[in-house]
Amino acid sequence: SAPLTATATAAAVELRNLARHYGEVRALDNFSLQIEPGEMVALLGPSGCGKTTALRSLAGLDDIDSGSILVDGRDVTGSPANQRDMAMVFQAYSLFPHMTVAENIAFALELRKVPKAERAERVERYLELVGLDAHGGRYAHQLSGGQQQRVALARALAVHPKVLLLDEPLSALDAKVRVQLREEIRRLQQEIGITALFVTHDQEEALAIADRVGVMSAGRIEQLGVPQEIYNRPINEFVANFIGVTNRLPATASAERADVLGLPVPLLPGSAQGDATVLVRPERVRIEPENEQTPAQRRATVMSVSFLGAHTQITAELGDGMRVLARVGANQAARFSPGDLVEVVLDDYPALAI
């Protein structure tokens, strides 16, 4: 691909104690986030948790009630959007339909006062970067959804913004294109070294694309961390549940371990003690044929076996009627059938007790 000339140096972003109310709704509630220069942070959370409001506040498109926004240490809280030097990619339909692809990008450059002599060269370079150099003369309706989003990305990057803002840019695309474009956005963001904020409600997408993920609920960040940390070390029930399915198993917890189904399970920091519920991911559960040594509390009956290609999902019911979901190797599908008597085994892996 074309060589990348340096864009504006990567910016540091700081959102401090942002608050925003819509009537009774707290869209942002003491929301704070720092993004390092060149870092991509994903905001992840259910619909209505305030992700878009956070992103739009940073862009200057939404007002905040209180708090401050700093870019490279400079307070931009009161600055209008067009003075913040940021560029945004929306979910869909953001290209001007009456302009060609090349004109869409050139127009954005004109708005940012890029000298005319430089515009054509940038249009060409950024279209090439997203693999659409042959499509400059087309109109939006002559492009697939994925291609339109590539153009929107090229247009956003071409203006050399300090910060790239992405608001569910992949949500309208089908699964395969979504994964391809996700990888491409990540590659370009890293190559250019631009600071970026990516909003999504898709767990896998957030974990795959970002340096750090902020899991949001009700206007604030519940947990912020690198993807592995968010996935493996959730700090509370909300985060654990939001990032993938979780089994809830009764336990007796001490400071560092819990007894779950008669097995010792190490506990994550912040876990409850005493009578508790331990959250165990399905991939930490194994299913074995039962034998004479299987204690009563781990004896279960297979209820369903679903072969899902890359892995197999087994639901088993314990003696007291409690169901456990196990995610096991794809080859395990042939080993078990509904009605089989089995033993439920938990991996020796840290879990959260609540």
Binding site for ligand ATP (CB under 6 A): 22, 25, 27, 45, 47-53, 201
Question: Which is nearer to ligand ATP, 202 or 211 (by Cβ)?
Answer: 202
Question: Which is nearer to ligand ATP, 25 or 245 (by Cβ)?
Answer: 25
CA distances from 93 to 61, 106, 127, 150, 152 (A): 18, 18, 18, 12, 9
Tell me the closest approach of the beta carbon of residue 201 to ligand ATP, in angstroms.
5
Tell me the closest approach of the beta carbon of residue 192 to ligand ATP, in angstroms.
26
The DSSP line for 164-220 is EEEESTTTTS-HHHHHHHHHHHHHHHHHHT-EEEEEES-HHHHHHH-SEEEEEETTE
Give the chain's length.
354
Question: Which is nearer to ligand ATP, 53 or 189 (by Cβ)?
Answer: 53
Tell me the closest approach of the beta carbon of residue 168 to ligand ATP, in angstroms.
7
Tell me the closest approach of the beta carbon of residue 22 to ligand ATP, in angstroms.
3
Question: Which is nearer to ligand ATP, 25 or 334 (by Cβ)?
Answer: 25
Question: Which is nearer to ligand ATP, 52 or 147 (by Cβ)?
Answer: 52
Tell me the closest approach of the beta carbon of residue 199 to ligand ATP, in angstroms.
6
Q: Give CA angle at 278 (294, 295), nearest 5°.
A: 10
The DSSP line for 214-272 is EEEETTEEEEEE-HHHHHH--SSHHHHHHSS--EEEEEEE-SSEEEETTEEEEB-TT--
The DSSP line for 89-148 is E-SS--S-TTSBHHHHHHHHHHHTT--HHHHHHHHHHHHHHTT-GGGTT-BGGGS-HHHH
Question: Which is nearer to ligand ATP, 114 or 218 (by Cβ)?
Answer: 218
Tell me the closest approach of the beta carbon of residue 25 to ligand ATP, in angstroms.
4
